[in-house]
Structure 1
């Protein structure tokens, strides 16, 4: 089958399926799980607290709240923001039950005109219908729904909330990875059996069939030479990689709380001795606060160097870096996500 020995084909199939399942559950599904858990966490907050996170996220984009701009409404609120001297009306609808439709967009567009604003941003934890998005583009209104809102407000959310969201998402993806590993190995076994059945008969048997000489009467095959030491075959190397990946996952799952704490402390200590870092300490289970040696340490490769250390520890792979500028610096605090 495909001109490859059954064992090598089976191992290659298992490795490809394992890589695909790890990406699906470890990256794609984890991001979706974190977003869904984040939306639910925001919905559990008071609307004023959640609106405050929205304003912080918009402030990162250059928007500033105009004095006395809050206007509580039906389940939400409106704010007038300023950016480059232009007024922007922001409408916030709290709760995941909201489904923004064309009527919501038209009403908000009218409110933008009444406020004398040049633009508008309509935000909800719920969702926006497709026709509403088309209409919003015509009125130059930006729609931000729950899935696109959580990534923007996550850096400003309470650390305890972010930690709870990530723990919930991690527990779901761990189960997915385990199923993916089992399925990959089962698929490799099926491919091996199918390739073995489809493999052509050995040359000696085929020759006996052509000449009419029974295979049992053919000259006995010489005894195989003693195995000699040499480089590992591709099949052995692929088997070793599969076994190593499984061993690492099982080892991480079996770590005790004390062992996890020691690994976290070791990772933080390694980041702290980087040239562009002054210190590094965990503020939460998934947030590492790094005090930068210079205001431009991020441009000098600090994030890449720190993340390169953290990804060596499977349980710390998705940690968040909180980058603190040196005392007296005018640079703001930054957050970066390791992948």
Structure 2
């Protein structure tokens, strides 16, 4: 007990303990160690940005590795309530492809696909989706003989079929996100440690400590010191230019078009998650359309600030034109359009 009490009254020891506790708590609270989760989120954003036809082709290649081959029968994608008709021997399998991030797999999707299986006399069926599926939906699908591969599970199984630059960008983005969260944890730990040190130092310096001390003799008067003569100010050297000779903050010219498209898809996904935003998409490389529900007032400044915070993560999106579309709330009446720019 005496040792513990000594640690709690020692400013350095108390600061170290508080910093350690706060640092560990912040790491777990921000999920800084879950790099695979960050990578999956960025990779799924890239899958969402693909054209549906390309996504369906990718799914066909993925299932081909599992021994399922495309049927030789003539049919169009999406006919009959399913997208792909695959075969293994004499058995047929139906596949539904969903590559929109907001398309969650629901129990209704499972029920509809089961009816189609019975109508087509199929052996089994699969739902491949970028969105997520809850536990109840997965259990229902398993009981109906339907396999659901959605969300992070899809990324883990299909990532090796994607181009290298998309996988590399997902891994690099995951490292950056983990690094930012770790630095946040370090900053929080240092701040908490400094506050604990200051608090412990203030409690330790009480007036009672000086009660029994002998009073010092009155000091003899001393002539005021003559201030030294002023000297020439030493010039402050200018900051040296960067080693590469380029100004910091410029867009990286080595980024490929696929990497830029992945970053735009990531921004659109983050904007969709902002409260008050219905949808976000890139009709062009320099214009982001943000759709919002009907409102009688102006676009909230906080919403615009949240959208800009997302875009300013990437230098090439700094001068993006924002096309803000507010629904009119009246059927057949077009939305109100406002234009903004973050910088």
- Cα distance in 2 for residues equivalent to 1:87 and 1:177: 49
2:184 pairs with 1:158: no
Match of 1:79 in 2: 85
- Cα distance in 2 for residues equivalent to 1:50 and 1:63: 19
Match of 1:189 in 2: 194
Structure 1 vs Structure 2 CA RMSD:
3.9
2:67 pairs with 1:63: yes
2:45 pairs with 1:40: yes
Tell me how far 1:108 sits from its aligned partner.
0.6
- Cα distance in 2 for residues equivalent to 1:10 and 1:110: 64
| Structure with the higher fraction of residues in helix conformation | 1
Post-superposition Cα deviations, 1:173-210, rounded to whole Å, max 9, x if no partner, equal: 333333222111001112333444556979x95xx9xx
Q: 1:55 to 1:6 in 2, by over 3 A?
A: farther
- Cα distance in 2 for residues equivalent to 1:89 and 1:107: 12
**Segments ≥4 residues shifted beyond 6 Å:** 254-257
- Cα distance in 2 for residues equivalent to 1:171 and 1:147: 19
Q: Within 5 Å, which residues of 2 pair with 1:1-150?
A: 2-3=4-5, 4=7, 5-19=10-24, 21-22=26-27, 24-28=30-34, 30-59=35-64, 62-68=66-72, 72-73=77-78, 77-82=83-88, 87-128=92-133, 131-150=136-155
- Cα distance in 1 for residues equivalent to 2:13 and 2:125: 59
Contact 2:85 2:92 in 1 (8 A): no
- Cα distance in 2 for residues equivalent to 1:57 and 1:191: 55
- Cα distance in 1 for residues equivalent to 2:244 and 2:18: 33
Contact 1:92 1:122 in 2 (8 A): yes
Contact 2:82 2:95 in 1 (8 A): no
Match of 1:320 in 2: none
Contact 1:121 1:144 in 2 (8 A): yes
Match of 1:215 in 2: 212
- What is the SS of the residue equivalent to 1:166? helix
Q: 1:35 to 1:46 in 2, by over 3 A?
A: same
Contact 1:81 1:90 in 2 (8 A): no
Task: Give the TM-score taking structure 1 as reference length.
Answer: 0.51
- Cα distance in 2 for residues equivalent to 1:143 and 1:12: 47
Tell me how far 1:63 sits from its aligned partner.
3.4
Contact 2:114 2:144 in 1 (8 A): yes
Tell me how far 1:158 sits from its aligned partner.
0.5
Contact 2:69 2:87 in 1 (8 A): yes
Unaligned runs of 5+ in 1: 209-213, 219-253, 258-284, 286-339
Q: 1:91 to 1:193 in 2, by over 3 A?
A: same
- Cα distance in 2 for residues equivalent to 1:199 and 1:55: 71
Post-superposition Cα deviations, 1:17-75, rounded to whole Å, max 9, x if no partner, equal: 445545645422x4333222211211222223323433444455x33324437751079
Contact 2:18 2:196 in 1 (8 A): yes
Contact 2:24 2:185 in 1 (8 A): no
Q: 1:113 to 1:8 in 2, by over 3 A?
A: same
- What is the SS of the residue equivalent to 2:112? helix
Tell me how far 1:217 sits from its aligned partner.
4.4
Aligned residue pair count? 212
- Greater radius of gyration (CA): 2
Q: 1:201 to 1:119 in 2, by over 3 A?
A: farther
Unaligned runs of 5+ in 2: 216-241, 246-258, 260-343
Tell me how far 1:77 sits from its aligned partner.
1.7
